[in-house]
Every structure is written in C-alpha cells, then in structure tokens.
Chains A and B, each alone.
Chain A
C-alpha cells in the first residue's frame, strides 16, 4: 500500500490532536458529546499527535536522506481529501460553537412521554426545594397526573426557549451520544412577573408542579435565578 508521508499530512494530524486535546482540557467537549467520552478523546488526541509527529519527522528526514521513504505519490495518495480537515481545525482552534440552544427545540421534536418508564415514590415533605432533571419532572408529571410531587417544591435548571404569556418555556436536551442525537425536554414555567429572560439564558427555576396543561407539564414558579451556562449542558 503506497502511503505518502507528507509533511503537510503530519502537520494536519498534529493540529487535529491539538484541537481534540484543547476541547478535552477546557471541558468544552461536553457541549458536543457525553462527559464519559473525555478519557477516550484524551487518548485519541495524544495518539494523533504522536502519529503526526512521527510522520513529520520521517518526512523531513526523508527529504535529507537519499534512501528515505519520504516519497510522494503522483496524485491520490497524498493528503488528498484530508485537506478538508483543515477548515474545521482552523475554526476550532479559534472559536468553539456553543451548546445547542432554543433554536433547535422546535426543530428536533420533544421527548414523547405519556407515562414514565419508572414508578416514582412520593416526594417527602420538605421546605428545601428538590433538585431534579427536566426529564424526571416530565415523567413524574405524566405519572398519575403528577401525584408523586406531593406539593413539594422542586428546582429545575435549563435554558429559556421562548417567552409565553405569563411565563416562558424552559428546555434542556437529552443526548445519547452526541449533540446530533439531542432531543429537547420542555417544561412550561408559569407565574413569573415582569419580562421573561431572553432566549438561551440559563436559569434555575424553583416552584411547584401545576396539574393540567396538556402537552407541556407546568411549573408554578416562585423564584427564577439567571445562571451561567453549566459545563455539562445536557441531561
């Protein structure tokens, strides 16, 4: 198998590795894939850098030594289609696309839950709000009309996905592997006074479950606190 060892190819590989490691060390990768992928990205990034370095060294040595393997094929076996990698690498070295936001909520189709797979125990009475995922909130809401909430206050964290009269929609994505398979979970927040936070603003909402409401379960809010986007933006 003829494989050209081009110095450009080695350089591109090292840049791929650098981008992967940068996303890993800054925890930015969690905007795109599940947190468990971190260690595999680390291994992959290091492997690609080592490979690129080996290629670069061999290509440069081949340029000096007459017996070297630094030959290039006349056409297809060079970097070829690998040049396409350069554009996203260059972009990603400089800017990182944000976590999925309100734009995709109505395009992806919400999680379709009518009765949750789990059977929930009733929440114990407490004055401290119970923190839960939006998915758990929605599953509890559709199980026996939300009986398991027991009027206990809950707190939900997500981003704002559209203002509505008397409140706004709160959403957060579920991902199985990466952001390409993201499915939004949406909750309707009621009872906020004044203007709603703008779209894509992350908030922690405290309140109690409000029965009824049809498609989207409702939360009667007591407090809405604006927060910075979490490092782990998906459920």
Chain B
C-alpha cells in the first residue's frame, strides 16, 4: 500500500515538473479568468434551447408521425445510446491516465531506433483506452517531450484502434465472431507500423509545427481527472452526434440497391466503406456497431471500415491540423488511408 502510494506520488511530482515546462512554453493565456458573464451566457444558451424545444414540442411530435423521420430518429438515438456507456468508460479511463501518468514517462520507455520504437509504440497503444479524439493531443504531447515523431504518430494511430475498450466493443458488436476482433487488431497494428516506418524514413520535423506550443492544465489529480473527462466527453460526444446523424441519414435515405451493387465487389466495397468511415467520423468505441449494421457488405470491407475509422476521418484531420499543422494533415491523412486500406484487405483476405 505504502509502495503504491510512493509510486503514485513520484509519478505525480514528475507530472508537475513537466507541467511547469509546458507552462513556460505557453506564457499567458493559462490563468486568465473568464469573465463571469461569459459563463452565464453559456448556461443561458443551454436553457434557451431547452425552452425553445419545449415550445416546439407539438412540432416534434408531428415530425415523429412521419415514418421516415421516425425511422431516422430511432436509429440516431439508438447509435448514440448504445455508444454512451462505452464513451463514458473510455473517457473515465483516459482521464485517469491523464491525471496520474506523467507525460514524460512514456517516451523514456521507448527504444531510440525508429525501427524498434515504431512497433513498440504500436503495441503500447493497447494500453491507452479511449477515443481517437484523446490520442491526438497525447501524441502531440509526446512529440513535445522529445519522443521520436514516428513512434508518437504510430501510437496516435494504434491507440484508438486496438485498445481493450474498442476490442471489447468489437466483440460485443460481432457476437460469436472472435476472428473479426483478431483481424481488426492485426490490420490496425500493421497499418500503424507501416505509417510509422514511412514517416521515420520520409517525414520532416518541421511539419509537426504547433505540437510544441501546447499548454497545460494544472491542479490536483482529481481536478485534472474531472476536467479531462468533462472535455473529452463533450468533444467526443459532439462528434458522435455527427456520426450517428450521418449514419441514420445514410440508413434512411440511401436506397439499398446502390449499397447492394457496391457490396458485390471486394476492392470497391472496401474503398467505399473506407471512404464512408472518413466521412462519418465516428468514435472508435462505437464504430464496430455501425460496421455490424452494414450487413450488406462483406466482412473484409467492414474490416476496412473499422481499421480506417479510428485512424483517419474528417474530425481527426481537423484535430491533427490543429495539433500539428495543415501541411502535416495534408500528408498524413492520405498516407494513413492507403496504409489502413491495404492492411485490412490483406488481413481480411487472410483471416476472414
């Protein structure tokens, strides 16, 4: 018990030291206080939207009497509700790690040679449960603390794809099909390592731009925990809403004959579902449920959906451009898409 406390305490002190470093990198802007008025406006907007919805209740009810709209709404709510417990679990664990594990701790564990560091970082991704939204800032922090960029980027790709929460969600979404879980794990690892090795050979550090200008949140572990969980929940939740709405729209509006025509051919189906994953931008903790619902497609192409989704999608491209630079995102996204697609075709052909 005492030993555990000592370890936690030393971890915490190391974290604190790291934060001072980050603070000096970002002078100003941290402890500026928000004018109380702005906060009240936030709450007022929330209450206003609720009141507006209450006034429009008859209209909402009328809308739900339309079969197509009711169908859309049911699927939209279903995806969101199903993802909620997984989202909460992922956000809680990832906030716990943000609060207790010092950011400088992970890069010290990595070998120096990229050829070794990249696979190690890919496997280390399994230790970070959470959505892809959480792994982008962490990868940015790793780069800022001097980890080899190739390894940090490999971690960025593998963490949301192969962590236990995502694999458990995949097993739940595909009951009785452990081979789908295995294929997802292998294809994601392969894609992350491929991108890492290509980046180690051809990548340039200047593309990583903004990664060093990261600021930090201080305070007790509990307040870091709550603040990180709160931020991740709203952030991931917001993108989940976009994904669920897109998925519900596709399911309601797109005639099945089109999907069936694509579903017939292997390469085209994988490309189409990979593209769908990019556009839908769904959380990696929820995407297996979407993949399971796309029953008209082959398992290999649905594997492509699950491998591409956590690695490259519209919200990730935005997050990466914000964390690193636009030039980075422009190169990284196509590279990752190609790697994810070819990995899933290869592993899908082998295992599924």
Contacts and interface: CB of A to CB of B under 8 A. Distances in A.
A173 B256 CA distance: 17
A119 B4 CA distance: 56
B78 A32 contact: yes
A138 interface: no
B128 to A, nearest CB: 14
Contacts of A32: 74, 77-78, 81-82
A8 interface: yes
Task: Tell me what chain B mostly uses at the interface: helix, strand, loop, or mixed.
Answer: helix
A7 interface: yes
B8 interface: no
A85 B241 contact: yes
Nearest to A36: B172
Given A80-B238, A91-B60, A12 B46 contact: yes
B98 interface: yes
Given A51-B233, A86-B46, A37 B289 contact: no
B151 to A, nearest CB: 20
Interface string B216-258: 1111000110111111011101110110000110011000100
A147 interface: no
A181 interface: yes
Contacts of B80: 88
Contacts of A95: 57, 60-61, 64
Query: Looking at chain B, what size class is its interface with the partner chain?
Result: 35 or more
Interface stretch (B34-42, B109-117, B190-198, B325-333): B34-42
Contacts of B242: 81, 84
A176 B46 contact: no
B173 interface: yes
A109 B256 contact: yes
Interface in A43-86: 43-44, 47-48, 51-52, 54-55, 58-60, 62-63, 66, 68-74, 76-77, 79-86
Interface string B63-102: 0100110110111111111101101110010000010000
A153 interface: no
Interface stretch (A96-104, A123-131, A210-218, A219-227): A96-104
B98 A1 contact: yes
B26 to A, nearest CB: 9
A67 to B, nearest CB: 9
Given A37-B82, A92-B77, A177-B173, 10 more contacts: A2-B30, A37-B85, A71-B34, A72-B39, A82-B234, A82-B235, A91-B73, A93-B50, A176-B292, A180-B82
23 contacts: A3-B227, A3-B228, A9-B231, A20-B84, A32-B77, A37-B85, A43-B85, A44-B85, A48-B233, A58-B223, A58-B226, A63-B39, A80-B234, A81-B238, A82-B237, A84-B238, A88-B80, A94-B54, A101-B71, A103-B70, A107-B256, A179-B75, A180-B79
